[in-house]
Amino acid sequence: MEAWRAPVIPQIPGHGPELRLYDAASREVRATTPGRIARMYVCGITPYDATHMGHAATYLTFDLVGRYWRDRGHDVHYVQNVTDIDDPLLERAVQTGDDWREIARRETQLFREDMEALGVIPPQHYIGAVESIPSVVTCIQGLTERGAVYEVEGDLYFDVTSDDLFGEVSHATQDQMLALFGECGGDPMRPGKRHPLDPLLWRAARPEEPAWDTPLGHGRPGWHIECVAIALDHLGMSFDVQGGGRDLLFPHHEMGASHAEVLTGAWPYARHYVHAGLVGLDGHKMSKSLGNLVFVHRLREQDVSPSAVRLAVAAHHYRGDWEWTEDGLDAAIARHGHWSRAAQLSAGPASEPVIEAVRTALADDLDTPRALTILDRWAEEALERGGAHGDGPRQVAEAVDALLGVRLLT
């Protein structure tokens, strides 16, 4: 699939320390250690409704990872999927009377426009579930050869007991796993399954449901195997970061690691499993099913600047859950105005120490609140006391653009 147009990113001199990120599997903040090429997979949308600020916050978080690696001189290979066939799309199609393909096409297009407006660097490979069906089939055939697949009334399941390391990504307890699996589209109670947590790999065709003819029969892919097929095709094993929202740690990323490691016999699937906290509104996780949503395209229609949206997100550390509020957005708009006024000055404080401090904060598990405080102080000093450095304000503005995606100069 087409992704979206890339923003122009200024090159700034120097670079910061290695990027350290919290990894769910090792349960510690560890350095990412990419080679010349840094490889990242971030789970994409299920396009049955418009992009809300929760989704956007997750993609903005991983955009900062990519920006930081670029700043360190890595060539970033970024892959993202679109779950363009799954139950929510079919349910929405029944509710609205629209064709599921038309819903997926329309919402994916809106997502592209939202991401482009926010200045998110596009993935090199933006891949739909439907177009990845041949790869999914190959993966399931490989898992079958390894004895990890069984059938229940024509549907194919992955046997979680085939993976000795199952559970080592999320470290969830059995009770937590069972609860989350049921909440996230799993079917722990289905008779005929060997283990309640075994996930579906291939769903045989049902009446009235779309299905594809493949060597596995007439049907459609399960969810986790979709991301594994796409990640292995375009990144291979042991890529640097598997990203997504916290809701994906279990079952999705646990199952993905399990599928890939059993399939290839290699370890690890990803070197870091990184998760953004969930964004809520009025005390609840922002979710399509609850309907408590702030849509990115609505903010665009209200002429809220993308830089202010980015600052409203960056004011929170990515790992914690947080609430989207009008006050938070107003504070971000004010902060953007303050920084922009400082950036327009003809001279200001030296830029190097400020840029170094911002890089150091970001390298420390993306400590954006600290980076923002550093820049608040810089703007205050520049506006109150000026400075002797003619290029200072412009250099800081370019670093803020490159590292945070926030534009201060028009």
Q: For residues 300 and 280, give the distance between their C-alpha atoms in angstroms, rounded to a whole number.
A: 20
Site for ligand 5CA in 282-301 (CB under 6 A): 285-287
241 belongs to the binding site for Zn ion (CB under 5 A): no
**Binding partner of 57, given ligand 5CA, Zn ion, none, CB within 5-8 angstroms per partner class:** ligand 5CA
Distance of CA 67 to the CA centre of its chain: 14
Q: Of 3, 90, 120, 227, which lies in the binding site for Zn ion, with binding defined by CB under 5 A? A: 227
Smaller CB separation from ligand 5CA, 89 or 379: 89
List Cβ neighbours of 163 (8 Å cut-off, separation of 6 or more).
Answer: 148, 258, 261, 262
Smaller CB separation from ligand 5CA, 74 or 252: 252
Smaller CB separation from ligand 5CA, 52 or 72: 52
Using the contact rule CB under 5 A, the part of the chain among 41-49, 64-72, 139-147, 345-353 near Zn ion is 41-49
For the beta carbon of residue 1, count every other beta carbon within 10 angstroms.
16
Q: For residues 26 and 34, give the distance between their C-alpha atoms in angstroms, rounded to a whole number.
A: 17
Which residue's structure tokens are 């740690």? 249
Smaller CB separation from Zn ion, 253 or 407: 253
**Binding partner of 292, given Zn ion, ligand 5CA, none, CB within 5-8 angstroms per partner class:** none
Using CB under 5 A as the binding criterion, the count of chain residues that bind Zn ion stands at 2
CA atoms within 13 A on the CB side of 59: 27
Strands of 253-321, DSSP E:
270-276, 279-281, 284-285
List Cβ neighbours of 325 (8 Å cut-off, separation of 6 or more).
Answer: none
Q: How far is the CB of 108 from ligand 5CA (least distance, A)?
A: 11
Using CB under 6 A as the binding criterion, the count of chain residues that bind ligand 5CA stands at 21
Q: Of 57, 255, 309, 358, which lies in the binding site for ligand 5CA, with binding defined by CB under 6 A? A: 57
85 belongs to the binding site for ligand 5CA (CB under 6 A): no
108 belongs to the binding site for ligand 5CA (CB under 6 A): no
58 belongs to the binding site for ligand 5CA (CB under 6 A): yes
C-alpha distances in Å from residue 149, one per residue of 4, 163, 375: 37, 12, 53
**Binding partner of 24, given ligand 5CA, Zn ion, none, CB within 5-8 angstroms per partner class:** none
**Binding partner of 79, given ligand 5CA, Zn ion, none, CB within 5-8 angstroms per partner class:** none
Q: How far is the CB of 278 from ligand 5CA (least distance, A)?
A: 4
**Sign of the alpha-carbon dihedral angle for 42, 30, 371, 340:** negative
List Cβ neighbours of 342 (8 Å cut-off, separation of 6 or more).
Answer: 348, 378, 379, 380, 382, 383, 393, 396, 408
Distance of CA 12 to the CA centre of its chain: 26
Smaller CB separation from ligand 5CA, 45 or 379: 45
**Binding partner of 286, given Zn ion, ligand 5CA, none, CB within 5-8 angstroms per partner class:** ligand 5CA
Which structure tokens are listed for 277? 């906290």
List Cβ neighbours of 7 (8 Å cut-off, separation of 6 or more).
Answer: 119, 120, 121, 405
Which amino acid appears at position 301 of this protein?
A: E
Site for ligand 5CA in 239-268 (CB under 6 A): 244-245, 247-248
Smaller CB separation from Zn ion, 227 or 311: 227
279 belongs to the binding site for ligand 5CA (CB under 6 A): yes
Q: How far is the CB of 302 from ligand 5CA (least distance, A)?
A: 20
Q: For residues 191 and 169, give the distance between their C-alpha atoms in angstroms, rounded to a whole number.
A: 27
Torsion of the alpha carbons at 120, 125, 128 and 132, rounded to the nearest 10? -160
Site for ligand 5CA in 17-56 (CB under 6 A): 43-46, 54-55
Quick check: 398 and 111 in contact, CB under 8 A? no
Smaller CB separation from ligand 5CA, 38 or 230: 230
Q: How far is the CB of 23 from ligand 5CA (least distance, A)?
A: 17
Q: How far is the CB of 83 from ligand 5CA (least distance, A)?
A: 4
DSSP one-letter code for 295: B
Residues in contact with Zn ion by the rule CB under 5 A: 43, 227
Residues in contact with ligand 5CA by the rule CB under 6 A: 43-46, 54-55, 57-58, 81, 83, 227, 244-245, 247-248, 276, 278-279, 285-287
